Amino acid sequence: MTWNHVIMAYAGDFNPQLWRSLCSLIFYAIVEMHHSERVLRQFGMMQNIPDQPDTRDMSLHKITRSNRTGTDWVLQHIHYITRWKRRYDTVIQMQLISNKRNTDRRYWEWYHNITRHFVSSSIDRCVESGYQPGDALVLQIMTEQVNTLEALYRSTPVDIGGYRQLVA
């Protein structure tokens, strides 16, 4: 699915190159990284296998403004302000595709190996959210086993030693 119709509804007269820029988005003391290289298919472009997520900027999520009334946020975030000023230097230029089948087969192999294929309460208990490297076959086998155990648990009418309260 491409998001051009959604983007156009909100973007107004903004330069569309900004949508594909690798830059920092700044709102006063709040900074968030814009990683358009990870969602190129949403822009109708050929998607490569992205690099491992850069976690260096995760410290931004821990910043709080409480008890920091004297903080000069321009100095605090000068690195990110500089990245924003260079936003047009980091616009991604990739081949446009007409449909998802035009995407490289290696991308789809990678995608299926790191993506959760099932969304359910049993999966949520087994797999943490986020990037999940590993073998898709192992994940599928584990999922089937957990689902089998869950079905067995739900079909057992007897409460053995308060077990139902622990797992419900």
* Residue partners of 29: CB distance under 8 A and separation at least 6: 63, 65, 71, 73, 76, 77
Question: What's the pLDDT at 21?
Answer: 87
| Per-residue confidence (pLDDT) for residue 12, from 0 to 100 | 56
In this predicted structure, what is the pLDDT of residue 15?
Answer: 72
**Residues of the chain predicted below pLDDT 70:** 1-14, 100-101, 117-136, 153, 156-168
pLDDT in tens, 79-92: 888 988 998 899 98
* Prediction pTM value: 0.53
Determine the pLDDT at residue 89. 92
Separation between Cα atoms, residue 48 and residue 105, nearest integer Å: 10
Q: Rounded to whole angstroms, how far apart are CA atoms 25 and 74? A: 14
